[in-house]
Amino acid sequence: MAIKVLVVDDSLFMRTLISDMLNSDPDIKVIDTAKDGIEAIKKIPRIRPDCITLDLAMPGRDGLTTLKHIIKECPTPVVILSAYSKKDADITMKCLKTGAVGFVLKPSGELSLDIKYVKGQLLEEVKAASRVKMRKVKSFIAKKPRKRRRKQIGINKIVAIGASTGGPQTIELVLSSLPIDFSVPVIVIQHMPTISFTQSLAEHLNHNCDLKVKVIENNDTFQSASVYLIPSGFRMKLTPLDTQDVISSLSREEPNMLTPSIDLAMTTLAPIYKENTVGIILSGMGEDGVEGMKAIKESGGKTIVQDESSMIFGMPKAVIEAGYADEVLPAPEIGKAMVDLIADN
């Protein structure tokens, strides 16, 4: 049976383009459209879509306000359509925290004549979102992890977390469960379309977690109780120093829906930190991270993957099936497992 989609956008032209793209896939059927949030809210209980594409910038009731109502009154998987600006990136992060499953960028802003260039991503996001159980989404909104007792742990160790669709919500849940003196640096590799979205995620996490969160820059040395996000469109290289620290350098790569690369980052970290590496794979589509977790295992490190509580159980499942998962845990238990593994390692 085809996935039933409601398309919400204030532009008739954009509603038509988006509907045509979605209807071109035999597994998807646009059953209705809405010109604003008010019309969408009226239609959802009647037409019961499997997924909703929701524009952010609409007159009257905007995308975020509409999303809050949908999640509360008629829970349905939502894919946000956002522009590229820093302001839109910030609002998109709020939407993910509120309950949106994923997002797609309009290539040229609100009226994107070239939206056809993101057709493949839009189709994938809608298909993935339609399979998400809303009880999983609501559990990430409601759950505030209990703070764990603090432990002093070694400093010459590292944690690498990889995630894609459904990742920002899960990363916040995991990081906010860590003690403020978690004396190991954490590297986050979250697929993002542009560096502005990586920066918005870092700001959001910095506001909601006890640990210091920042986007990696050239010549950074990793500090304890700190979280470092690799920016979209870049790959990270590390150079060991005599002090047993490492210094980072970034090189540009073509931005796409799978950058920064989890495999590249983990295979860079593993030979340097060896048995002192903990690799974690959270929610996401595809198989990015399998080779990275393999490298960590082969270097003597430990690995954790999120269980089927993942919004999108693609990347975690791929690691499990490849045989590179030491532990398979729900998101609220991953923080404690990180502390225990680092302390015992």
Would the pLDDT of 127 be above 70? Answer: yes
Q: Residue 146 has what pLDDT?
A: 47
Q: What average pLDDT does the chain have?
A: 88
Q: Output 220 or 199, whichever has higher pLDDT.
A: 199
Dihedral angle sign, alpha carbons of residues 60, 203, 310, 135: negative
pLDDT over 70 (residue 81): yes
- The highest-confidence range among 53-57, 242-246, 294-298, by mean pLDDT, is 294-298
- Give the pairing type, strands 186-190 and 212-215: unpaired
Q: Are 274 and 206 in contact (CB under 8 A)?
A: no
Overall pTM surpassing 0.85 (yes/no): yes
Specify whether the CB–CB gap between 250 and 216 falls below 8 A.
yes
Provide the annotated active-site residues: 164, 191, 288
Say yes or no to pLDDT of 145 above 60. Answer: no
In this prediction, residues 208-235 reach a mean pLDDT of 90
For 105, half-sphere exposure in the C-beta direction (CA atoms, 13 angstrom radius) is 19
Neighbour-count burial of 337, counting CB atoms closer than 10 A to its CB (0-12 exposed, 13-18 middle, 19+ buried): middle
pLDDT at 152: 40
Greater pLDDT, 112 or 260 = 260
The predicted structure's pLDDT at residue 150: 42
Range in 134-143, 160-169, 231-240, 306-315 with the lowest mean pLDDT:
134-143
Is the CB of residue 81 less than 8 Å from the CB of residue 104? yes
pLDDT of res. 149: 47
Is it the case that residue 111 has pLDDT exceeding 90?
no
Q: What does the pLDDT read at residue 190?
A: 96
Distances from the Cα of 91 to the Cαs of 15, 87, 114, in angstroms?
21, 6, 23
CATH domain 145-344 topology: Rossmann fold (3.40.50)
- Residue ranges, comma separated, of all CATH 3.40.50.2300 domains in the chain are 3-141
- Which of 263, 262, 273 has the alpha carbon at shortest distance from 238? 273
Residue pair 294/321 in contact by the 8 Å Cβ criterion? no
Task: Give the pLDDT confidence score for residue 148 in this predicted structure.
Answer: 46
Rounded percentage of the chain residues whose pLDDT exceeds 90: 65
Architecture of domain 3-141: 3-Layer(aba) Sandwich (3.40)
DSSP string spanning 16-83? HHHHHHHHTSTTEEEEEEESSHHHHHHHHHHH--SEEEEES--SSS-HHHHHHHHHHHS---EEEEE-
**CATH 3.40.50.180 placement within the chain:** 145-344
List, in order, residues 6 or more apart from 139 with CB less than 8 Å away. 309
Confidence of residue 151 (pLDDT cuts 50, 70, 90): very low
222-280 tens-digit pLDDT: 888 899 999 998 888 887 765 556 777 888 876 556 789 999 999 999 999 999 999 99
Per-residue b/e over 299-323, b at no fewer than 16 CB within 10 Å? bebbbbbbbebbbbbbbbbbbbeee
The model's pLDDT over 152-176, given as tens digits with 9 standing for 90+, comes to 434 478 999 999 999 999 999 999 9
Would you place residue 197 in the very low, low, confident or very high pLDDT band (cuts 50, 70, 90)? Answer: very high
- How is residue 26 written in tokens? 């035999």
The DSSP bridge pattern shows strands 234-240 and 246-252 to be antiparallel
The C-alpha atoms of residue 69 and residue 97 are separated, in whole angstroms, by 14
User: What average pLDDT score do residues 60-64 get?
Assistant: 86
